[in-house]
Amino acid sequence: MNLDEKYDLITRGTVEVVTASELRTLLENVDKPKAYIGFEPSGLVHVGWLIWMNKVRDFIEAGVDMYVLEATWHAYINDKLGGNMDLIKTAAKFVKKVMEAYGIDVSPIKFVDAEDLVSDKKYWELVIKSAKNVSLARVKRALTIMGRRAGEAESDASKIIYPLMQVVDIIYLDLDIALGGTDQRKAHMLQRDLAEKMGLKKAIAIHTPLLVSLSGPERKMSEEVEIDDYLSEVKMSKSKPETAIFVHDSPEEIELKIARAYCPPREVELNPVIQLAKYILFSRKFTLHVERPMKYGGDLEVNSFSELEKMYGEGAIHPQDLKKSVAKALAEYLKPIRAFIESDQETRYLLRKLSQAKITR
């Protein structure tokens, strides 16, 4: 695989690379760069997580040395699963099982539990040194990476530690690339700034899109809110199960949820049904079969997202027809994951345990 092929594979389906020139230089000079993504083990897995799992697959194929950080202590700080560490670790195991169910070869991946990092005094030395090089105001602005507002640190000071830990995760593991959704942008930019101040390696940041909630954006984007904060606010969340599609949902559940989804005619931006098609179904070569009444031209075979976007924007596809076709295709797409969960005793146990737990935030 040549450099251009590696670059295209690493960056496809992403929305931002900071910076593209740094990535090209890295690929020219490092045979096996180190990258990571961290996730909070916080409960069940919705389809939005398949976006980053696809990128993990791409990174491995491109020859990247891939780390997946199970951010257990981060989840504890963020009050996930009621701060129950046993449930948090259960959720971490479940995510790994979903990756296997999704067809990802997990054998070359280095899974790291945050427990291993926080047990090393060198890690905390880096946290303190990072804190010495940044203002409290800057750290508070980064709290949106954990779905929090700056003011929430007033009643729980542990929240201030979270962004610094995320910075140090990258430094401690000596990573070249930090992968994450656009909601993680502030942490990645903070790492780049602090690393430069401290004379350490700046990680290249690669950001993936976020799926909007099935209920759609509750409010319009305003000039006062930064785009990454806004997208974090309107993204699909497991804490609102009626507005999220989980990888284990039955075809009937998927159909019902999508039937109720926000899907204004001719509108493509922040349309969750359109996004499901774009980021999940059309993430690889795919044809969407759209059933339409004969009086409206009959059935369609849509071979690319650009084609779907154009037709929907022009009103050639009715929202109800789009919903039905996406629901059917998504249920089929998730069929192997459901089959794996149903056939694997440990995964069924993990799912049952998490389904009974209270999912927070």
The tens digit of pLDDT for each residue in 99-143 reads: 999 999 999 999 999 999 999 999 999 999 999 999 999 999 999
Q: Which residues of the chain are in CATH 1.10.240.10 domains?
A: 237-246+250-333
Cα dihedral sign, 67-68-73-75: positive
The C-alpha torsion from 56 through 58 and 60 to 63, rounded to 10°, is: -140
218 — pLDDT class (breaks 50, 70, 90): confident
How confident is the model at residue 221, as a pLDDT?
66
The structure tokens 């962004």 sit at: 163
- pLDDT of 361 strictly over 60: no
359 — pLDDT class (breaks 50, 70, 90): low
Q: Which residues of the chain are in CATH 3.40.50.620 domains?
A: 3-208
Whole-structure pTM value: 0.94
How confident is the model at residue 44, as a pLDDT?
96
- pLDDT of 199 strictly over 90: yes
- pLDDT of 210 strictly over 60: yes
| CATH fold label, 237-246+250-333 | Tyrosyl-Transfer RNA Synthetase (1.10.240)
The structure tokens 């919705």 sit at: 46
How confident is the model at residue 296, as a pLDDT?
82
**Taking residues 342-355, what's their average pLDDT?**
97
How confident is the model at residue 153, as a pLDDT?
64
How confident is the model at residue 70, as a pLDDT?
98
- pLDDT of 223 strictly over 90: no
SS3 249: coil
Tens digits of residue pLDDT in 168-192:
999 999 999 999 999 999 999 999 9
How confident is the model at residue 219, as a pLDDT?
73
SS3 1: coil
Q: What is the mean pLDDT of the chain?
A: 94
Q: Which helix (H) or strand (E) holds 289?
A: strand 288-290
- pLDDT of 222 strictly over 90: no
SS3 346: helix
SS3 11: helix
* Helices vs. strands in the chain: H and E counts, helices first: 17, 8
How confident is the model at residue 295, as a pLDDT?
83
CATH class of 3-208: alpha beta
The structure tokens 């951010």 sit at: 71
Six-digit token pair at 180?
């994450």
Share above pLDDT 90 across residues of the chain, in percent, rounded to a whole number: 85
Nearest to 100 by CA among 333, 331, 347, 330: 347
Share above pLDDT 70 across residues of the chain, in percent, rounded to a whole number: 96
Rounded to a whole number of angstroms, the CA Rg of the chain reads: 21
Tens digits of residue pLDDT in 3-47:
999 999 999 999 999 999 999 999 999 999 999 999 999 999 999
